[in-house]
Amino acid sequence: MSQFGYKGKGLEFLTSNKIEIGNQVKIHADLIYSGVIMPRYEHSDDHHIVLKLKSGYNIGLELDKIKKIELETTSAIKKEVIRRSSQPNPKLPKILLLSTGGTIASRIDYRTGAVTPALTAAELNASVPELSIIANIDTEVLFSEYSENLLPEHWIKIAEKLDSYSTSEYDGIIVAHGTDTMQYTASALAFSLAGFPKPVALVGSQRSSDRPSSDAALNLIAATRFLIEIHSPGIFVVMHNNSSDDEIACNWATRVRKNHTSRRDAFKTIGGPPAYIVKANSIEKDKMFDIPKREYVPKIKFDSRVLLIKYYPGLDSKVIDYATDSGYRGIIIEGTGLGHVGKTMYAAIEKAKKNGVFIGMTSQCIDGMVRMTVYDSGRDLLNLGVIPLGNMIPETALVKTMWALANSKNSDEMTKLMKESIALEFSD
Amino acid sequence: MSEIQIDKIGLLVGLEIHQQLATGAKLFCRCRPIESDEYSIKFSRKLRITSSELGEFDPSAIFEKSKEKTILYSRNPESSCLVEQDDEPPHDLDHNAKETVLIMASALKSNIFNEIYVMRKLVIDGSNTSGFQRTMLVSTGGNIEVNGKKVGVQSICLEEDAAKLLQDSKDTREYSLDRLGIPLVEIALDPVSGTPQEIKDIALTLGRMLRATKRVGRGIGSIRQDVNVSIEGGGAVIEVKGVQKLDQLEKVIEYEAKRQHGLKIISEKLRTLKTEKIIVNEDVKNVIDIFKNCKSKIIQKSLAEGSSIKAMKIKGFAGMFGWEPYPGIRLGKQLGELVRFFGLGGLFHSDELPNYGIEELEIQQIIKILDVGSNDAFIIVAGNEKKLDIVIESIIKRIEDAKNGIPAETRAATITGETVFLRPRPGSSRMYPETDIPPVIVSNTEIEQAKSKIPKSWEENLLALQKQYELNQQLSAQVFDSEYLDLFETICKDKKIPPNFVASTLCGTITNLERQGMDSGLLKTSDILEAFSLVIDGKIAKESLEMIFGSIMSGKSKTISEAIRSNALNTIEDTELHKILDELVESSRKIIEEQGLRSMGPLMGLAMKTLRGKVDGQKLNQLLENKIKIKIDKK
């Protein structure tokens, strides 16, 4: 049993002294300390209590050293005041902000002491008042999760929500999303909502919005400008283009990858420049970027029985056998170089194919095309029925396979879908 | 105007010392703290204001935000990484820095917490890329003994040093990241009453205690004193930041005492006057048309930049802006400082006009437009339209505060020992827990270990230094208190050079050159080491060091070898030396015949003319004497 992280001796101490979190107290120990009792992180021990001193510093006081605790006033913690955003201006374009969680909306979590998704979309809008000058922003909280906790079911939820707004009055939609799996969600939306008539920007932040240097605000402002100034339909990932606060890249959903654990400019378009770059006074389009016209027919279904596997020297082919035996319907291989795996894999691949498992080949090189006709090993794999997937990013290929499996009647149709460009997933 | 009686105003001064630690790493990454001037990585940022965990905004952060500057950063990958760039979470706390602060806290008998929380102290002027300084309260209480009296310790914190400001212009501010993240110990002492000299003694004693740990940085900027100054009945405590030298400390305290007491006198007088609140819509007017042909350079410049010009009437304030209870202390100057910190050039007030190119005709027009009565005062201020309203709001607030005496603010020490407005006093709402780092646990074993490592006292250290290097007491004290102790010990390690000479060069020669106006900052530690090793190897003469250091400190030479070359200081070969001396003795035959050995003096003088710095003085003396003797004997 724990309360605000206090358990065992610590909790007993507080209850027996009738002290609650947020109380202003005076503690007699080696010296006398005045301050506010703060919550304690869940993974901490039970023989300290946390006090916020007048100076703002938090300290941990050892229970054994406390001689007396006196209550001064009851609640000192103020509820966060959310300033109402300014009155909507009917002349401005309308934007919808869907919140799903992630660093863009994080504040301290007293359960673990780390940051956790907590800010609602409304709070976010209020904390970036510049937004109200360029657009009227409505907000809606879809869920509040770290993106590593998202499942294909969450993609479906987001896609269905977007679909419900496909003919709405909104000029565009922002999806606030954790960065860890943002590229998967982006691909999932790009395939399931191919031809979506409105611009959609997935926006995240690498540095949480509770710090003055957060990249969240600028990413949001740039995304809003991109949606209302360019009107380019489709799904984009809008994040910093470099470490400076001066360029924001709009990356096309199926061509983007998180390439750094912490930098602001972690998201890169693979194999070319970003589709658009938002600068202080202009938005520049990449000359080569062009969205094919496509009728909007939403296909919001995924089959998650797909395995993404990286080949490496010594990989046990039993992994593939296990997938086949467990009913997996697709395997995406991150092969070496131009798209290879060692001979030791052949038997397992053959068996999988015989059982109707789709096997697609991408490269672990990340950049460049898969060409399986250059070496014998590539040709062997082609003969076994492995489908080369050009320069599709492995993660995109995984999502596309989940989507294609759920939206095709048989394996021929499935293979055709995989080879066809649905959402600019090939960039050759 | 009168003389201030500093012992009668209830002056209280609390010292806050910030000492860089020399742990060889930054506090939250393993980058080496080195100073550089080449930065291969550049980036720019904007900082935003955020609320505290209790949901409040900090007043100094709101103020800083109102200035809205773009921050440019320059970084050298040798001295900083993605952590300083705020593109990577902090690494673990440097254990060396942790141990050092525990030793210092133990030496000051301070109560150390078993659980330390790293906090983010909001600082959005750009000096921290993250927008906050990481800081942790390590201990409270304790004391230090100064001249037989105990001075209480309030708190000891371990924190990160800030980035170094390279440039501050109207819309941008530029920092280098070399210094960002260097561990810093902050020790705040109880406020004490005493003369500025006594306060200086406290700072000196504390500084000596810190240096005795041999784990602190030395050199200018490695120790900074902040002082919290208040006077009786004055109200607010004023925090003065950035006193770098002890001599400056005394002056700053004197100035601040005078300023605060002056403002108190002004407030008392204001309370006797019939003043009225300033109403923005009535008393503030746009007056740009009046100044279209104004001769004032400041106004001309503002017009050229497309600025707006506004005038403001202050009822009942006639004469109050220019009145000086003490020389140089007046309300007008306080307002000037305030607007300058918004990036404006300054303001004009009615007590100083006509002047600065503003003429009677323009003044009359303002009086008319604002309906300024004989008891009223007015202010003229020019600047960017968007900014101007914020500035005017601050001016009004400051004028209203003037009645209450001394407004709480943070001020900066100037090199001349005055103080200028820096920002409003920050509060506790600028603290937020650092979510990237779990609480730091301090075990009782660690505290016991720290206690066992408490350094020897200053006196004991001096005795040891005296004994080891055979220095006299004065010289050993000078070495110990100087920034050169480590360097001194390095140079004298092998005893190849007399320690007395090294000590007097480091503490005497260099200081003398500084007094002549030269900059010791140009002289790098590596330069000094190089020069002494050249002396040890006999490549240059001892006597040449002054010229070499002078050459570098005056900016004439960049390196030791350059200084040697430009001053032609290479030692000469013995054969060459003999030849020169032989020629000299030969041509001075007459003097030698007349004066015998007494001719040494004048001849030595002649020899030094050509040989200064190229030959060891003693050696030259010996050789010349021999040659003269031979000459006499031959005779």
Q: Considering only CB atoms, which chain A residues are within 8 Å of B67?
A: none
Q: Considering only CB atoms, which chain A residues are within 8 Å of B86?
A: 207, 213
Band (B560; pLDDT cuts 50, 70, 90): confident
pLDDT at B175 over 80: yes
The question of whether A180 is a catalytic residue gets the answer yes
Give chain A's mean pLDDT: 89
ipTM for the predicted complex = 0.86
pTM above 0.80, yes or no: yes
Q: What is the CATH number of the domain that holds B301?
A: 3.30.1360.30
Name the nearest CA neighbour of A50 among A16, A4, A107: A4
β-pairing, B183-189 with B409-413? unpaired
Sign of CA dihedral A86, A92, A94, A100: negative
Which residues numbered 21-60 in B keep a CB inside 8 Å of some CB on A? 43-56
**Tokens standing for A386?**
């492995």
User: Which of B111, B117, B143 is best to mutate for the A interface (most A CBs within 10 A)?
Assistant: B117
pLDDT at A188 over 60: yes
Q: Kindly give, in sequence order, each residue whose CB lies less than 8 Å from that of residue A45, ignoring residues fewer than 6 positions away.
A: none
* Strand, coil or helix: A71: strand
User: What is the tens place of the pLDDT at every residue in B520-545?
Assistant: 878 888 889 999 988 888 888 888 88
B580 and B512 together in one domain: no
pLDDT at B625 over 80: yes
Distance in angstroms (rounded) separating the CA atoms of residues B191 and B188: 9
Give the residue, B418 or B537, on which the prediction is more confident.
Answer: B418
Distance in angstroms (rounded) separating the CA atoms of residues A282 and A73: 54
**What is residue B138's predicted lDDT score, i.e. its pLDDT?**
97
pLDDT at A84 over 60: no
B86 and A213 Cβ atoms separated by less than 8 Å = yes
Phi/psi for A357 (5° steps) reads -80, 130
User: Which of B41, B43, B45, B132 is best to mutate for the A interface (most A CBs within 10 A)?
Assistant: B45
The region, left, alpha or beta by phi > 0 then psi within -120 to 50, assigned to residue B515 is: alpha
Q: What domain count does chain B have?
A: 4
CB contact under 8 A, B88 and A263: yes
Distance in angstroms (rounded) separating the CA atoms of residues A205 and A239: 7
SS3 breakdown of chain A: % helix, strand, coil, rounded to 5?
30, 25, 45
Q: Is residue B414 part of a domain?
A: no
For the residues of B547-594, what is the DSSP string, one character each?
HHHHHHHTTS-SSHHHHHHHTT-PPPPHHHHHHHHHHHHHHTHHHHHH
Compute how many other C-beta atoms are within 10 angstroms of the C-beta atom of residue B410: 18
CB contact under 8 A, B53 and A48: no
Q: How far off is chain B from A224, nearest CA to CA, in Å?
A: 18
For the residues of B305-355, what is the DSSP string, one character each?
TT-EEEEEEETT-TTTTT--SBTTB-HHHHHHHHHHTTT---EEEGGG-SB
Residue of B nearest to A56 (CA): B428
**What is residue B63's predicted lDDT score, i.e. its pLDDT?**
61
CB contact under 8 A, B435 and A115: yes
Q: Considering only CB atoms, which chain A residues are within 8 Å of B431?
A: 52, 55-58
CB contact under 8 A, A56 and B427: yes
pLDDT at B617 over 90: no
Instruction: Compare CB distances from A213 to B51, B130, B436 and report the shortest one's residue.
Output: B130
B118 and B128 Cβ atoms separated by less than 8 Å = no
* Strand, coil or helix: A64: helix
Report the range of poorest mean pLDDT among A99-103, A192-196, B50-54.
B50-54
Q: Considering only CB atoms, which chain A residues are within 8 Å of B155?
A: 55
B134 and B235 together in one domain: yes
B248 and B343 together in one domain: no
User: Which of B74, B113, B116, B175 is best to mutate for the A interface (most A CBs within 10 A)?
Assistant: B113
User: What is the tens place of the pLDDT at every residue in B577-602?
Assistant: 888 888 888 888 888 888 888 888 88
Q: Is residue B419 part of a domain?
A: no
* Strand, coil or helix: A398: helix
Distance in angstroms (rounded) separating the CA atoms of residues B320 and B197: 33
Give the residue, B280 or A99, on which the prediction is more confident.
Answer: A99
Number of A to B CB contacts under 8 A, please give it.
Answer: 140
Mean pLDDT for B506-513 is 88
Distance in angstroms (rounded) separating the CA atoms of residues A194 and A403: 12
- B448 reaches A (C-beta below 8 A): no
For A89, which DSSP code? -
B229 and B111 together in one domain: yes
- B172 reaches A (C-beta below 8 A): no
B176 and B36 together in one domain: yes
**What is residue A81's predicted lDDT score, i.e. its pLDDT?**
37
Instruction: Report in angstroms the alpha-carbon separations of A22 from A31, A44, A113, B433, B518.
Output: 21, 19, 17, 16, 57
Residue of B nearest to A76 (CA): B54
Compute how many other C-beta atoms are within 10 angstroms of the C-beta atom of residue B368: 10
Distance in angstroms (rounded) separating the CA atoms of residues B20 and B211: 11
Q: Is residue B99 part of a domain?
A: yes
Distance in angstroms (rounded) separating the CA atoms of residues B174 and B164: 9
Distance in angstroms (rounded) separating the CA atoms of residues A61 and B428: 19
User: What is the tens place of the pLDDT at every residue in B208-246?
Assistant: 899 888 888 876 678 888 999 999 988 788 999 988 887
B244 and B107 together in one domain: yes
**What is residue A21's predicted lDDT score, i.e. its pLDDT?**
83
End residue of a domain, out of B433, B448, B482: B433
Report the range of poorest mean pLDDT among A65-79, A291-305, B87-101, B116-130.
A65-79
Alpha helices in A17-151 (DSSP H): 121-127, 131-134
B121 and B264 together in one domain: yes
Q: What is the 3-state secondary structure (H, E, C) of B473-533?
A: HHHHHHHHHCCCHHHHHHHHCCCCCCHHHHHHHHHHHHHHHHHCCCCHHHCCHHHHHHHHH
B552 and B560 Cβ atoms separated by less than 8 Å = yes
Distance in angstroms (rounded) separating the CA atoms of residues A338 and A323: 24
Mean pLDDT for B558-571 is 78
Cβ-based burial of A336 (10 A; exposed 0-12, middle 13-18, buried ≥19): middle
User: What is the tens place of the pLDDT at every residue in B71-115?
Assistant: 999 999 999 999 999 999 999 999 999 999 999 999 999 999 999
What's the N-to-C CA distance of chain A in angstroms? Answer: 58
CB contact under 8 A, A56 and B140: no
B212 and B263 together in one domain: yes
Give the residue, B617 or A76, on which the prediction is more confident.
Answer: B617
**What is residue B132's predicted lDDT score, i.e. its pLDDT?**
93
Give the residue, A412 or B573, on which the prediction is more confident.
Answer: A412
Band (A131; pLDDT cuts 50, 70, 90): confident
* Strand, coil or helix: B308: strand
Give chain B's mean pLDDT: 88
Sign of CA dihedral A55, A58, A64, A67: positive
Query: Locate tokens 């499942």: which residue?
Result: A151
Half-sphere exposure of B500 (CA within 13 A, CB side): 5
Q: What percent of chain B has pLDDT over 70?
A: 96
A37 and A14 Cβ atoms separated by less than 8 Å = yes
Distance in angstroms (rounded) separating the CA atoms of residues A301 and B304: 64
| From A198, A258, A268, A400, active-site residue | A258
| From A109, A180, A210, A245, active-site residue | A180
CB contact under 8 A, A59 and B113: yes
CB contact under 8 A, A262 and B87: yes
pLDDT at B354 over 80: yes
CB contact under 8 A, B82 and A263: yes
Phi/psi for B404 (5° steps) reads -85, 0
Q: Is residue B290 part of a domain?
A: yes
Q: Is residue B114 part of a domain?
A: yes
B70 and B193 together in one domain: yes
Domains and CATH numbers, chain A: 8-75 (2.30.30.520), 88-285 (3.40.50.1170), 306-419 (3.40.50.40)
CB contact under 8 A, B117 and A59: yes
CB contact under 8 A, B56 and A78: yes
Q: What is the dihedral of CA B140, B145, B151, B154, to 10 degrees?
A: -10
Band (B64; pLDDT cuts 50, 70, 90): low
Q: How far off is chain A from B193, nearest CA to CA, in Å?
A: 23
**What is residue B394's predicted lDDT score, i.e. its pLDDT?**
86
Distance in angstroms (rounded) separating the CA atoms of residues B208 and B17: 12
pLDDT at A102 over 70: no
pLDDT at A307 over 60: yes
Query: Cis peptide leading into B327, omega within 30 of 0?
Result: no
B615 and B531 together in one domain: no
User: What is the tens place of the pLDDT at every residue in B290-322?
Assistant: 988 888 888 888 888 888 899 999 999 999 999
Band (B422; pLDDT cuts 50, 70, 90): confident
B497 and B616 together in one domain: no
Q: Which domain holds residue B246?
A: 6-271+429-433
Band (A123; pLDDT cuts 50, 70, 90): low
- B508 reaches A (C-beta below 8 A): no
Q: At B208, which helix (H) or strand (E)? A: helix B196-212
User: What is the tens place of the pLDDT at every residue in A197-246?
Assistant: 999 999 999 988 778 899 988 999 999 999 999 999 999 999 999 999 99
**What is residue A265's predicted lDDT score, i.e. its pLDDT?**
97
Band (A345; pLDDT cuts 50, 70, 90): very high
User: What is the tens place of the pLDDT at every residue in A37-80?
Assistant: 888 887 788 899 999 898 889 999 999 999 999 998 876 554 43
Q: Kindly give, in sequence order, each residue whose CB lies less than 8 Å from that of residue B322, ignoring residues fewer than 6 positions away.
A: B330, B332, B349, B351, B352
CB contact under 8 A, B157 and A209: no
Q: What percent of chain A has pLDDT over 90?
A: 70
User: Which of B16, B115, B127 is best to mutate for the A interface (most A CBs within 10 A)?
Assistant: B115
Q: Is residue B408 part of a domain?
A: no
Q: Considering only CB atoms, which chain B residues are within 8 Å of A109?
A: 435
Q: Is residue B102 part of a domain?
A: yes
Q: Is residue B343 part of a domain?
A: yes
Distance in angstroms (rounded) separating the CA atoms of residues B510 and A215: 48
B67 and B194 together in one domain: yes
Residue of B nearest to A64 (CA): B114
The question of whether A179 is a catalytic residue gets the answer yes
For A395, which DSSP code? H
CB contact under 8 A, A263 and B87: yes
pLDDT at A114 over 70: no
The question of whether A103 is a catalytic residue gets the answer yes
